[in-house]
Amino acid sequence: MHFAVVSLFPEMVGTIGQYGVVGRALQRELITLELENPRDHASDAHRTVDDRPYGGGPGMVMKFEPVAAALELAKGKLPDGCPTVYLSPQGQAFDQAMAKRFSALPGMVLLAGRYEGIDERLIESRIDEEVSLGDFVLSGGEIAAMAVIDAVVRLLPGVLGDEESAVQDSFVGGLLDHPHYTRPEVVAGRRVPDVLLSGDHAGIARWRDKQALGRSHQRRPDLLKKLDLTDEQQTLLDEFLKEQRL
């Protein structure tokens, strides 16, 4: 999959390719990452990329021309059929389903804004989709673009060593993940749950499903409301709640 990020801080975005899963995917050429800086497309001696907002008010707005030129160059480096996504708090909320949808694309251009935002005419004429990480304000879209790339890349075939690990991630079944334990068996006076030491694989799977349902119920009831629980899941959740009361 091919990514291009348009940003005033391309070095910041580039660090995503230096570490861990995304770094390995880049090294193995499972993905490509192009970076484009609007400042390289500013037409004046000061390489101006921002200006005061029409109508007044605080802050600055990213100008149409340098951003549009950077987007065009970025898009030209990717195959056909790659949408341009703008990261902003005004966007649709990013989630695992959206990551999955993006992972089926040949690539995507991500535009990271700075200042108060970008000229609205860029959004109208150059942006296919506006995406938000959540209801909070970042100083710029770079971290959001990096988060989107990370979430998408780990879903690409062959990226994760064990194909299972993406299948078992949080949110894949619309639920939070179950708890994880590693050695030693006792630490800080706390034992690993017996079932995990039992070697009973069906029992372990059942316990994990139960924990995932129970935690989702307790911490993210909004997630559970979106699901139609099977009879088996309802039984597990009832058991979890009964065990909690003991």
Active site residues: 89, 116, 154, 169
For residue 89, state whether it binds ligand ADE (rule: CB under 6 A): yes
Q: What is the CA radius of gyration of the chain?
A: 22
Cβ-based neighbour number of residue 13 at 10 Å: 23
Find the part of the chain contacting ligand ADE (CB under 6 A) among 16-24, 69-77, 134-142, 220-228. Answer: 134-142
In terms of DSSP bridges, do strands 186-187 and 190-191 run parallel, antiparallel, or are they unpaired? antiparallel
Residue selected from 10, 38, 66, 141 as contacting ligand ADE according to rule CB under 6 A: 141
Q: How far is the CB of 159 from ligand ADE (least distance, A)?
A: 23
**According to the binding rule CB under 6 A, does residue 173 interact with ligand ADE?**
no
Applying CB under 6 A, which of residues 20, 79, 134, 203 lies at the interface with ligand ADE? 134
| Contact criterion met (CB below 8 Å) for 112 and 13 | yes
Instruction: Give the dihedral sign, CA 138/139/145/150.
Output: negative
| CB closer to ligand ADE, 5 vs 175 | 5
Give, as ranges, the residues between 223 and 242 that touch ligand ADE (CB under 6 A): none
Per-position x/- string for 143-162, each x denoting binding to ligand ADE as judged by CB under 6 A, each - no binding: -x------------------
The residue from 132, 211, 216, 233 that contacts ligand ADE (CB under 6 A) is: 132
List Cα–Cα distances, 112 to 39, 102, 157, in angstroms.
Answer: 13, 17, 26
For the CB of residue 133, give the shortest distance to ligand ADE in the complex, in Å.
4
Tell me the closest approach of the beta carbon of residue 116 to ligand ADE, in angstroms: 10
Please state, in angstroms and rounded to a whole number, the distance separating the CA atoms of residues 40 and 66.
8
Report if residue 16 touches ligand ADE, rule: CB under 6 A. no
Give least dist CB 74 to ligand ADE, A.
Answer: 18
Q: Is 133 in the site for ligand ADE (CB under 6 A)?
A: yes
Residue with tokens 């999959």: 1
Interatomic CA distance for residues 91 and 212, integer angstroms: 29
* Range 156-169 burial, b when 16+ CB lie within 10 A, else e: beebbeeeeebeee
Contact, 163 vs 155, CB < 8 A? no
Return residues touching ligand ADE (CB under 6 A). 87-89, 132-134, 136-138, 141, 144
